[in-house]
Structure 1
Amino acid sequence: MALNDSILSEIISTSPSVELLRLRNRELVLLFLYRTFYHKPDPVAYEHLCVQLSDYLCAEHLDQDEESGISVFDTYDEKARKYIMRWTDKGFLRNYQEETGEVFYELSSYASKTLDWLLSLKKEDFVGTESKFMNLFSQMKELVEFTNEDKDERIRILEARKQEIEHEIQTIRAGGDARVFEEYQIRPRFRQITQSAKDLLSDFKEVEENFKNITKSIYQKHAEGGYTKGDILGFTFDALEDLQNSPQGRSFYAFWDFLLSPSLQEEWDELVSGLFETLDHKSIQERDQFLRNMKQYLYAAGKKVYQANDKMAEKLSKIICEQEAPKQVAARKLIQDIQATLLELAQKNCKPEVSLSVEMFPEIRMPAERKLTLERNTEVVYRQVLEVAASDITQADYADALFATHTVDRGILKQRVLTALKRKKQVSLAEVIERNGGLEKGLAELFGYIGLLSEFRYHVHTEKTVDVPFNTAENKMIRVPEIIIVR
């Protein structure tokens, strides 16, 4: 019991969900988060979010909020930007940067679950006791059936189920009525399915957060400077393996495979379409249409999980590939010391007063600045006529180098691994690379393979290493732990 008390105490003290409910202006914050983000598939760009929040604060006539450091003298745009920064720091929102450099925001898993819980407090028109009990009874039977290893007992259960089905078929053929749910049975079941789908979306966000936490740990270990590249690589593989073998990780990867199955997707679409047609036919009005777009929501959330995994692999590849001169090493060490200090302060929720001071006024030189003068510009006259270039750009010198691309197709790499696993139950990563002619695109291709490991079962033997050539012309190779991929 003491352990449970300590866990509950820790949740109350540290959970962003609890902190969100503790805010003085919680109603204002929760309403804005609900209207802007709740169960909407697309994230919101930073500038657009600032405009929306600024208009909302103006409509609510918010003057100041001492708890969030907002004063009456701030403009509504400044208030909006301060709120967004604070909500992100507190864990109510999360942000990420696209390749274009634009920053997008969406609800964190904590804020999403808080809104789910608040909405669940709404008193329903009626309580679906029958549907909840039948669901509980069905799950209990399923749990007992599939945890019993006695084959004779399993056959007895299947035979009993077979007799029930045959009896129902005979009754219907004899002119009897088929069992059909009444409205009081349909409504609670529909709402239970919808709520389970929303909970599943929150689970996806938690898996994404786990990948991001691994990435943060890689940043932190690299900033501390006391770890070798092999140590960081080993830590990453161990963390990935723990995540993949955890109940949450197994559940996510199994569901992701289901989500990518064309036949199951088609079956899901037919079920959803049939369900809503039945509701319309029976004139049962349900405002929550989440199930109609559930597949798109889950696909978008699952895609973000894999993007977080790719970002982690990209950071890892940068750490392993970096090669620096002595001066750069010294500068890097200084930067790492600063990063380590800032990380330590961040863990203590301290905001340092960092500033620079100079002993004299800086001398500003802007050679390209247009000077103020009354002198007239000298007119430049070009006497040489430029030749017209050939119309066929393919004949231009170095055109191949200009348009050369060295992107790695993850689909091709995944297919190579699947092909190798068809022949053998387990295969090493080095063997897959060797069978396909080595690394054609250098280290980028190797890290492409490493990024795919989260989609397979694999083992890392840190005590055994292999040399993987990545530049045969210059006889360059990289030493990595042996990685065994299992079917």
Structure 2
Amino acid sequence: MDYFSINSLRENHAGWSLLRAQNAPLALTFFMTAFTDPNQRNLGRQDLIDVLDDVLFSLRDSLGEDRFPRTAGEYLDDWAEPDKAWLRKFYAENRDEPVYDLTAATEDVIRWVESLRGRDFVPTQSRLSSIFNLLKALVHGSETDPEARLAELQRQRDDIDVQMEQIRSGTIPVMTGPEAVDHFHQLTTQAKDLLSDFREVETNFRRLDRNLREQISMWEGGQGDLLESIFSSQQDISGSLQGRTFQGFWDYLMSPQLRSELHELLERATQIQALATQDGLNSITSMQKDWLPAVEQTQSTVRQLSAQIRRLLDDKVFLENKRIMALIRNIESGAVAVRATPPTGVFAELTGHDVPVALPFERPLYEPSRQVAIDDAVSVAEDLDVDAKALFDQFYVDQQRLEANIDAVLADAEQATLADVTDAYPLSQGLAEIVSYFQLATESTSAVIDPDTEQTLSWTLPDGSLREATVEKIIFVRPS
């Protein structure tokens, strides 16, 4: 970074403006009390006013009644202004009052201010071990030579064999007390850093979405180009480096096996004797519970961004249709106005609509068609016993009844397969009814035919015999 970049941050960055503010100690004290210390997010306005009133009462009692003359609500509104952006003010679902949350810049300032107090214990050995482990994972995980990969795995296997042999011989290497404390502090520090990073992840997602909405608002091209731009931008949000790393973390955290392993390791860590006197030892067991709300908040933000993109597209289509209808109404009103007194002379000129001229000698000569002799004699069979009733004994499959069956099943479920529908409403017309279901699925936009999965349907004939048919799987989805 050069002088101009640093000066731009000094003038425009929300975190730097917070450090320069006269009421920075008050704001930071309130932010720590309400958000970071209890690890809370998205607090309602009245709850924050109550907390800030308590903070102001305590400070005024110590520093004087005239020290902070403004009310708690005025301070909240001031700190959430766009020129400060220390708090993010928004409205959440099922909430009548505005909701507040810290911005990523404010949390960076809080973490920096907390680091100024100094630490009684600075983990160094565990950080060096973490650097070595990350470096090994980076180098060996990126290695494409099979021999090198096998050699590294063999070395790890030899090390494990040596350790197992030491344990069998009675020599059990145990981590010393200082080493355990070192790793414990490194663990808690990284857990807090990861939890605070989610606000910055959410901010990055919002920045990508804001750029997309600005592009839609200023779009002047065709609808096809707009759709292509929107779909590519949605892929940019989910396929960006930020989106891929966050999705990887989400998949890792949602794995039942990994979550069980993490919970077991945290429980065993609290039973280490060397860590018995460490503050916050029992709180590490809730580390996973602290991550889940933050991750869910970020996931909810991504879902809201996708919904906003769809609404923007709907608004764009509505405005385009409205403009087309206005043009049609203008043409119709103009036609009605000149109906009684049509204009003289050339009314309209249309380029490219001329009468084609074909000269007589360009026409082909007449060529008589060839006559094909067809034997149209009909031989009448004699003494042939044929029951003509079979020609008239046909039946009709009512597709409206089948659609009613599908709607009745989807009334209690988001989606259902053809097997679910036939279980609720058994087949009465055999293969003809199955073919009608397939016709409905191909013509409907709320049905999917999975050619890679099969399902078996059965029905009973009038004589009591059972018939089965193995067909491709059909999934009906409740229309939105």
Distance 1:310 1:277, change over 3 A: same
Letter of the aligned partner of 1:55 in structure 2?
D
Give the 3-state SS of the residue equivalent to 1:157 in structure 2: helix
Q: Which moved more, 1:201-210 or 1:31-40?
A: 201-210
1:79, CA displacement in angstroms?
A: 3.0
Alignment of 1:249 with 2:243, yes or no, is yes
TM-score, with normalisation over the residues of structure 1?
A: 0.60
Q: How does 1:141-290 map to 2 (within 5 A)?
A: 141-176=136-171, 178-224=172-218, 226=220, 230=224, 232-278=226-272, 282-287=275-280
Give the 3-state SS of the residue equivalent to 2:272 in structure 1: helix
Q: How does 1:437-452 map to 2 (within 5 A)?
A: 438-440=444-446
Give the 3-state SS of the residue equivalent to 1:95 in structure 2: strand
1:471, CA displacement in angstroms?
A: 13
Is 1:229–1:319's contact at 8 Å kept on the other side of the alignment? no
Partner Cα separation in structure 1 for residue 300 and residue 215 of structure 2: 21
Is 1:128–1:184's contact at 8 Å kept on the other side of the alignment? no
Alignment correspondent of 1:320: 313
Letter of the aligned partner of 1:83 in structure 2?
D
1:241, CA displacement in angstroms?
A: 2.5
Is 1:54–1:80's contact at 8 Å kept on the other side of the alignment? no
Partner Cα separation in structure 2 for residue 266 and residue 436 of structure 1: 44
TM-score, with normalisation over the residues of structure 2?
A: 0.61
1:231, CA displacement in angstroms?
A: 5.0
Distance 1:231 1:59, change over 3 A: farther
Summarize deviations over 1:378-402 as a string: whole Å, max 9, x none. xxxxxxxxxxxxxxxxxxxxxxxxx
Alignment correspondent of 1:396: none
1:113, CA displacement in angstroms?
A: 2.1
1:229, CA displacement in angstroms?
A: 5.1
Partner Cα separation in structure 2 for residue 212 and residue 24 of structure 1: 30
Is 1:41–1:297's contact at 8 Å kept on the other side of the alignment? no
Give the 3-state SS of the residue equivalent to 1:112 in structure 2: helix
Alignment correspondent of 1:310: 303
Identity rate, percent: 23
Q: Which moved more, 1:197-206 or 1:157-166?
A: 197-206
Give the 3-state SS of the residue equivalent to 1:32 in structure 2: helix
1:216, CA displacement in angstroms?
A: 3.0
Which of the residues 113, 116, 122 maps onto 2:108? 113
Which of the residues 105, 115, 124 maps onto 2:119? 124
1:107, CA displacement in angstroms?
A: 1.6
Which of the residues 63, 86, 92 maps onto 1:92? 86
Give the 3-state SS of the residue equivalent to 1:284 in structure 2: coil
Is 1:222–1:232's contact at 8 Å kept on the other side of the alignment? yes
1:173, CA displacement in angstroms?
A: 0.8
Partner Cα separation in structure 2 for residue 199 and residue 125 of structure 1: 19
Q: Cα RMSD between the aligned structures? A: 3.8
Alignment of 1:55 with 2:61, yes or no, is no
Letter of the aligned partner of 1:195 in structure 2?
T
Partner Cα separation in structure 1 for residue 111 and residue 178 of structure 2: 23
1:17, CA displacement in angstroms?
A: 1.8
Is 1:54–1:79's contact at 8 Å kept on the other side of the alignment? no
Partner Cα separation in structure 2 for residue 314 and residue 112 of structure 1: 28
Is 1:94–1:105's contact at 8 Å kept on the other side of the alignment? yes
1:208, CA displacement in angstroms?
A: 1.8
Letter of the aligned partner of 1:254 in structure 2?
G
**What is the aligned length?**
338
Is 2:42–2:101's contact at 8 Å kept on the other side of the alignment? yes
Unaligned 5+ runs, structure 2: 327-409, 418-439, 448-476
Partner Cα separation in structure 2 for residue 216 and residue 195 of structure 1: 32
Summarize deviations over 1:175-199 as a string: whole Å, max 9, x none. 22x1211221112211212222222
1:252, CA displacement in angstroms?
A: 0.7
1:268, CA displacement in angstroms?
A: 1.0
Alignment correspondent of 1:20: 18
1:438, CA displacement in angstroms?
A: 4.1
Give the structure, 1 or 2, with the largest relative contact order (CA under 8 Å, sep 6 or more): 1
Partner Cα separation in structure 2 for residue 28 and residue 297 of structure 1: 26
Summarize deviations over 1:32-52 as a string: whole Å, max 9, x none. 100110051443111221232
Alignment correspondent of 2:45: 46
Is 1:44–1:105's contact at 8 Å kept on the other side of the alignment? yes
Is 2:14–2:106's contact at 8 Å kept on the other side of the alignment? yes
